[in-house]
Structure 1
Amino acid sequence: MLRRLIFALLSTHLALPVQASLKDLSHCDPLKKDAHCPPDPALASKITFDFTKSTWGDQFTSFWTVDSSTSQDKRQLILNDTDGKGAAFTIWQDGQAPTLTSNKYMLFGKVRVQAQAAKGPGLITAIVLKSDSGDEIDWELLGAFENQAQTNYFFDGEPLFNTYNTTYRLDTSSFASAHTYGIDWTPTYINFSIDNVVRKSWRIGDNAIPAYKWPQTPMQVKLGIWSVSNGSDPGTVVWAGGLPDWSGRDAEKNPYRAYFKTLELEDYAGGCNETQKGAEIEYLYNERTNGWQNIQVKGCVKRTTPGAYPPPLPSSSIGSQPSHPSSSSPGPTDASGAPSQTGEQNPNESESSGDDSDSAALPNGRPSSPLGAVIFLLWLLSI
């Protein structure tokens, strides 16, 4: 009985979320002893992907891998006829989670995604950076709550909820139109931005988190939508605002939809700013790898120090195959090929425009619980 009461308390009041449940591809964990994983292909460039112009074909699949369920039923991912909203990620029954995963990896860099969240209890629209070893940085848009967005961070598959799970208020609905969600990830800081305004900065060593728990292994970009179910952890269901209502829904009639409009991605390539001409850039691990400094960048001639980020990289657009980095290159381009200007705040500038001032507890009243209380409750569960 005591265990049930404590579990109910954890589920109802703490409502700690679980790792984003976008569908994963099967990868080798390169940091496990004797894993002998193959190299990860590096993006090593800047790229702009316009989902409003995407179609199924070689150009799309050269950049993205689609989960097997969606490959078999493409009604879960509509790439045209969406009135300019972009790719429509569509679900109408339990267990669906259409997911795009980039075929190439980034080792530090910038991500900007225009997304319009799906509306409905239990639905999560997700923008995820995830490594083969379990490092992860997330934006999560909950369909039960209209004017908020959340960020989270995992190291080696372990969530750090009480330290880095943060909720941000939105001035306008996440369902009615697209917002731009950004992540700037370096060896020393992670900046989260909404509509090109930095809302939160995490710096290495903050909140007594040791440096070795900083996410620092090459990551893929994952975009998608998922839902909780009757089999989900009760605390996760509470966090997601309840279970989805599937009644009267099918692929053509009133499905749930999230839209992804554009992706801007820049891979800092582990600090590489000069490469061998024509070389395929790859990230390699060995048995001595215990941080980003030990990850080899195959094809790299010169790497910068962390303070020199970002290195210059070439750019491409509309989902075309990225080119290889060089020591000098033009800036990013928009879909028409013209230089783009984002107007973003420099990540090294003052954080006064955002930081914690607009963070808020979830509308369901979930408190920001101290780590000590959680540890104590978990200890009671084990009695």
Structure 2
Amino acid sequence: MSVSPHPHFCQLYMITSYPSFIGETKMGISSCSRRRGLVIILLLHLTAAVYGSNYFEDFDITWGGGRGKIVNNGELLTLSLDSTSGSGFQSKKEYLFGKIDMQLKLVPGNSAGTVTAYYLSSQGANHDEIDFEFLGNLSGEPYTIHTNVYSQGKGDREQQFRVWFDPTADFHTYSILWTPQTIVFSVDNVPIREFKNLEKMGVAFPKGQAMRLYSSIWNADEWATRGGLIKTDWSRAPFTASYTNFGSSMQNFEFGEGSGGTDTDEDADITENQEEGGVLNPQPAQDVSDHDPPMEQAAATKLRWVQRNFMIYNYCSDAKRFPAGFPPECRA
């Protein structure tokens, strides 16, 4: 997926963090350039999710020729698609780990052929990406939620779901939780997918590249609805998706240069990533409260319910696609 360019970030720093639900936050900082002797100062701002964000302050509409709009004093953002162009926006800040929530109301009526994408992404050929896409359908037919995870430029980890409500009738919350241990996709606080850190099995995991939040609406009628059999009905344009109540407990970074100095081995050591675990089966720092395991069990129960009743595609079950054997994470 193509995204708008943004400033290049040094790839050598690492922050290891566990959000408040795990009980502890740990940080490690390493230099972006030992050769230049610069100290890169990362100012970490980790706060509880705050809703009612002002879209003027947090996002830029990056393309669409006026088809993207921020209205209601910054409380609402809309993206539209017509036969000439779609539209899109991106966050002003870049993030490394945490949780984002966005309330979306998807294109109503006959949305066949359209895709509304909402995702985190870094830049370049070896980019990381955590991807929600909403595939439109004919009137009265259900939307498909398409998810994917890219690590170092490699994706092909698709899972797809139907939703258990009408996503066009009202706003619903779509969340991405991203920690060094796991990625969890949620809808209205119900987890639908978890992608764990399985680097010990040789599976790349997004952890070293800061990402912006992007969203766009575009025409994909060559594949989006019934494999491309149903085309976009342009007589129903413009197709409009709406956004409100962005919430973030992501870590926002500001970069500055200190004078002189290099990293010590001790500095580098504290940047080591923690063992893989996952929010549904975590291996957190020691002082986790007694109530955490039941909460994790409840989340796992919800996840199984969604995957049993609403998952319609899982790359880990597609034997025709992987005749030589499934990817290693599918065997975990």
CA offset digits 1:144-178 (Å, max 9, x no partner):
252442211111222133xxx11223211122222
How far is the alpha carbon of 1:45 from its aligned partner?
Answer: 3.2
2:149 paired with 1:153: yes
Correspondence 1:198-209 to 2 at 5 A: 198-205=191-198
Partner of 2:113: 122
1:40–1:105 contact (8 Å) kept in structure 2 = no
1:90–1:256 contact (8 Å) kept in structure 2 = yes
* One of 52, 55, 60 as aligned partner of 1:50: 52
Distance 1:209 1:247 in 2: 50
* One of 65, 81, 85 as aligned partner of 1:91: 81
TM-score for both structures, normalised by structure 2: 0.65
Correspondence 1:155-174 to 2 at 5 A: 155-161=151-157, 165-174=158-167
Q: Closer, same or farther in 2 for the Cα pair 1:104/1:141, shift >3 Å?
A: same
CA offset digits 1:44-103 (Å, max 9, x no partner):
23353536xx57xxxx1x422221x34xx4343242399x8x32211222432222x112
Distance 1:89 1:118 in 2: 10
* One of 245, 259, 280 as aligned partner of 2:233: 245
Mean Cα deviation higher: 366-375 or 193-202 = 366-375
CA offset digits 1:169-194 (Å, max 9, x no partner):
32111222221111111111112211
Q: Closer, same or farther in 2 for the Cα pair 1:209/1:138, shift >3 Å?
A: farther
SS of the residue 1:157 aligns to: coil
- How many residue pairs end up in the alignment? 268
* One of 227, 230, 241 as aligned partner of 2:219: 227
SS of the residue 1:74 aligns to: coil
* One of 61, 64, 68 as aligned partner of 2:59: 64
Q: Which segments of 5 or more consecutive residues in structure 1 lack a partner in the other structure?
A: 1-18, 250-254, 270-279, 296-305, 310-344, 377-383
Distance 2:226 2:295 in 1: 37
Q: Which segments of 5 or more consecutive residues in structure 2 lack a partner in the other structure?
A: 13-31, 258-262, 274-282, 287-293, 326-332
Partner of 1:341: none
CA RMSD, 1 decimal: 4.4
Distance 1:375 1:283 in 2: 48
SS of the residue 1:247 aligns to: helix
TM-score for both structures, normalised by structure 1: 0.57
Correspondence 1:329-344 to 2 at 5 A: none
SS of the residue 2:218 aligns to: strand
How far is the alpha carbon of 1:294 from its aligned partner?
Answer: 7.2
> Percent identity, aligned pairs only?
21
Q: Closer, same or farther in 2 for the Cα pair 1:246/1:45, shift >3 Å?
A: same
